[in-house]
Structures are given as structure tokens and as C-alpha cells.
């Protein structure tokens, strides 16, 4: 309990974080945190007023236990879980909470820059591969067009030869015998 007994300079920010993390109507999937029962006091006369229901709250985010490293992936995951209303206030509170947990926000920002660079390079590589595939498709289509023209020309010639009557040889015709010529001399 030594951690919780110390004076925390961010106590007000932690309370603000708790207030900011109340569930918005857009996030019904989040469950309320259990609250401690009220302290026993002297009995009082019952009143007719019913207490206003407490708005549900979101559990405080837990930090990953990965050798103390906290990167952009963790920050993205955390931001996905937080309510979307009052985004600037939520981001400010998250940054202060990270700082109080001795997590360097500039390290997260550097990690984000590296991730952006890596994804941009990957997109450029994919774009180049698409260009190469599109060029290959164009070449294949040109080859198909050439083949289609060659098929058509071949069919035309074939049909021409098939449709023309073949000459019938007269069986009574006997060719003259071959006699070699003599040289004068």
C-alpha cells in the first residue's frame, strides 16, 4: 500500500480522469465499477426522495507489463477503449496519467512516427507491385489480341481452302514420259 499512501501530485488529474471516463450513451458495452457501500451513520428518518442513480464509470486503464515499454500500439488500444466525447480533455488526462506512471510520451510519439514511416513504405511497395501487375495485365491483353487476330486469319484461310473445289484428275490422262535432252556437240 506504500504506493497509494504517498502524496500524488496528479491526484486532481486522476479524479478528473475518473469523471471523464464515465460511460457516454454511445458506449453501453462498458460496465460500471463496483462502489464501496456507504459508511454507517446514525439512523435517520426515511425520506420519500429516492437517490439519483450513479452514472456508470469505466475502470481505469491498466498499463502493459512488457518490460516497461509502452508504445503507440498500446496508446491506440487505450484510445479505442475511451469515450469519444470531450476528446481533448481525455487525451490531456491520458498524457498526464502516462507521465505520472513514468512513461515518456515523446517515446510514444517517436514510435508513432516510425510506424507511420513503416506503413507508408509498405503502401508504396504495394502500389509499385500493383503497377507492375497492371503492366503485366496490359502485356497479356496485347498478346491475347495478337492471338485472336492470328486465330481469325487462320480460320479464314482454312475455310477458304475447304470451300474451294479440289481439282479432280482425269484418270484417262497419262502424262508423257520424261526424256532427257541430249547435248549437241
Strand partners, 20: none
| Distance spanning both ends of the chain, measured CA to CA | 136
What is the structure's pLDDT at 79? 87
Q: Measured between alpha carbons, how far is 58 from 83 in angstroms, rounded to an integer?
A: 9
Which residues, given as ranges, of the chain have pLDDT below 50? 1-3, 5, 10, 21-37, 47, 58-66
For residue 21, the SS3 value is coil
What is the structure's pLDDT at 66? 46
Q: Please report how the helices 105-163 and 87-100 are oriented relative to each other, as an axis angle in degrees rounded to 10.
A: 120
What is the structure's pLDDT at 175? 72
Triad 115, 17, 70: Cα angle to 5°: 25
Q: Measured between alpha carbons, how far is 31 from 22 in angstroms, rounded to an integer?
A: 10
Q: Measured between alpha carbons, how far is 85 from 91 in angstroms, rounded to an integer?
A: 11
Amino acid at each position: 500500500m506504500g504506493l497509494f499512501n504517498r502524496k500524488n501530485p496528479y491526484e486532481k488529474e486522476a479524479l478528473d480522469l475518473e469523471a471523464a471516463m464515465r460511460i457516454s450513451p454511445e458506449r453501453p458495452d462498458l460496465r460500471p465499477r463496483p462502489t464501496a457501500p456507504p459508511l454507517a451513520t446514525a439512523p435517520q428518518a426515511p425520506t420519500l426522495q429516492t437517490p439519483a442513480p450513479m452514472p456508470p464509470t469505466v475502470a481505469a486503464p491498466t498499463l502493459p507489463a512488457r518490460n516497461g515499454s509502452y508504445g503507440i500500439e498500446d496508446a491506440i488500444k487505450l484510445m479505442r477503449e475511451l469515450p469519444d466525447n470531450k476528446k481533448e480533455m481525455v487525451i490531456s488526462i491520458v498524457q498526464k496519467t502516462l507521465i505520472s506512471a513514468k512513461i515518456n510520451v515523446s517515446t510514444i510519439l517517436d514510435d508513432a512516427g516510425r510506424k507511420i514511416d513503416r506503413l507508408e513504405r509498405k503502401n508504396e511497395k504495394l502500389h509499385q507491385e500493383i503497377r507492375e501487375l497492371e503492366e503485366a495485365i496490359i502485356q497479356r491483353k496485347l498478346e491475347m489480341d495478337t492471338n485472336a487476330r492470328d486465330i481469325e486469319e487462320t480460320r479464314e484461310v482454312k475455310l477458304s481452302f475447304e470451300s474451294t473445289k479440289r481439282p479432280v484428275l482425269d484418270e484417262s490422262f497419262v502424262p508423257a514420259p520424261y526424256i532427257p535432252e541430249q547435248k549437241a556437240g
